[in-house]
Amino acid sequence: MTDRPSPPTLPSAVQSLLLDNGLRIYLREDHRAPLVSVQLWYHVGSSYEPQGHSGLSHALEHLLFEGSSKLAPGEYSTLMTRLGGEPNAFTGSDATVFPLTLPASRVEIALEAMADVMASATLSDTPFARELAVVMAERRANVENSPLALALEHHHLLTYGDAGYGTPVIGHKVDLEHLTPAAAQTWYRTWYHPNNATLAVAGDITLPQLQTLVTRHFAGIPAHRLPPRQVPMGLPNPGMRQQTLRLPGLYTGAVLGFNLPSQCTAGSDAQAYALRLLPEILADGHASRLKRLLAVEEPLLQGLRATYEPWQRGDSMLALYAFCSPHVTPEAAAERLMLEIGAFRQAAPTRQDLERAKARLLARQQFERDDIDKQARAIGKQAACGLDPVALDDERQAIEAVTAEQVGQAAYDFLTESRAAMTFMHAKENAHA
């Protein structure tokens, strides 16, 4: 009788180490497949950018791996693809990220390349001109030629103001037109250093193995003094804000945004996790309160969804996207939404609604544990906004402990008219002057 192979071990707790130059490394071991997700998170994004210089972080995302002391322009992408990876990058409000999933035996090559770019990116004029043209084409395709994306850009400006999280990640068109290689080089020299970065790793590698490789390639890169960082807090006493947009091809609907704390700026852990459950209870899932009332029982809306980003170093926004049924105006839809939200504020959610919301949120997190890229991404998000990724292992218990009264108090405190921003969306061809 042959012995059955032992089942692969499940993901471990998050482990961490810190190099003398300030680079933080976090690892969640997951030995179920011989793969490792390595993600280099620089703690700089659009919320860091001064007015008139939007788009710098996204431009650096395109430029950073286009040449260094060991790699010619385009060579990083070619090499990592040959090794079995899919090199990618993305920029957000608080971070610029270079994720890569490779066979475990190839991880050192990726780390060597990432370290070399951190120490010696060339940012020469020829790749700059080419990649800036790519960025401007992205803006035309994804924002200027997309009525909904353009409306959402305007809504962020209305909710957050014209700085911090109101700054579009891709940059304003006028700023991109004036972006120079010198500005990109200055941005690189200012922020792209080991003491402003996190290496988030998940997969088939142990902490001693990872420490050896990271020390070999990153320890010799010096730390640099970083400029003061202002946390983008919510607008002081914002009051109700409204705007009407009429664009060709725009969906008829309304976007409601409420300025509220993030996981970082909440008054307590209990409040932070109660806020996480609000979109689940209000608009996510067919049985959620607003969807049940306004899209099923009384079909004023053809669609409704909610978003809330808890992982921001500053204040965040709960956004409700409502798309109207025929003959329902955006203004009427927004008025009804505010009426139902007002009623929700007056009473704690039912036990059934709360448990359903917790189950959805926890199920989503559990499914993400099956993807090492998502495991590493969760670590990077926490680190980039100033939270300790080791605390990710306590999230399930914290979510399960949230009470209906805590959710009700969060709704009462933050889902108020004085914190609301409304964008009424009309298709231009159907709108009256």
Triad 165, 117, 223: Cα angle to 5°: 75
Mean pLDDT, residues 103-121 taken together:
97
pLDDT of residue 8: 55
One-letter amino acid for residue 334 of the chain: A
Domains, the chain, ranges and CATH?
14-218 (3.30.830.10), 241-430 (3.30.830.10)
**Is the pLDDT confidence value at 1 over 50?**
no
Mean pLDDT, residues 139-168 taken together:
94
CA distance 126 to 220: 29
Residue pair 248/428 in contact by the 8 Å Cβ criterion? yes
CA 395 to chain centre: 18
**Burial (CB count within 10 angstroms: exposed 0-12, middle 13-18, buried 19+), residue 182:** exposed
Mean pLDDT, residues 288-316 taken together:
94
Mean pLDDT, residues 89-93 taken together:
97
Residue pair 179/57 in contact by the 8 Å Cβ criterion? no
Residue pair 280/357 in contact by the 8 Å Cβ criterion? yes
Q: Which two tokens stand for residue 390?
A: 């080791």
**Is the pLDDT confidence value at 2 over 50?**
no
Q: Which two tokens stand for residue 409?
A: 């108090």
> Whole-model pTM?
0.94
pLDDT of residue 9: 61
- Residue 67 — left, alpha, or beta (φ > 0 → left; ψ -120 to 50 → alpha)? left
Candidate from 79-88, 235-244, 405-414 with smallest mean pLDDT: 235-244
Residue 280 CB coordination number (10 Å)? 23
pLDDT of residue 348: 86
Mean pLDDT, residues 402-412 taken together:
96
CA distance 57 to 41: 12
Question: pLDDT confidence of 433, banded at 50, 70, 90?
Answer: very low
265-300: pLDDT as tens digits: 999 999 999 999 999 999 987 889 999 999 999 999
* CB-facing half-sphere around the CA of 111: CA atoms within 13 A: 26
Residue pair 292/304 in contact by the 8 Å Cβ criterion? no
CA distance 110 to 104: 11
pLDDT of residue 284: 86
pLDDT of residue 285: 79
Residue whose tokens read 């999933």: 101
Percentage of the chain exceeding pLDDT 70: 96
Residue pair 56/184 in contact by the 8 Å Cβ criterion? yes
Residue whose tokens read 């003094």: 225
Residue pair 358/399 in contact by the 8 Å Cβ criterion? yes
Chain mean pLDDT for the chain? 93
One-letter amino acid for residue 370 of the chain: D
pLDDT of residue 4: 46
pLDDT of residue 5: 47
Q: Which two tokens stand for residue 256?
A: 């409601």
pLDDT of residue 12: 74
Question: pLDDT confidence of 10, banded at 50, 70, 90?
Answer: low
Bridge pairing between strands 420-427 and 241-247: parallel
Question: pLDDT confidence of 320, banded at 50, 70, 90?
Answer: very high
CA distance 151 to 159: 12
pLDDT of residue 409: 96
Percentages of the chain per state (helix, strand, coil), in multiples of 5: 45, 20, 35
Question: pLDDT confidence of 232, banded at 50, 70, 90?
Answer: confident
CA distance 44 to 91: 9
Mean pLDDT, residues 305-334 taken together:
96
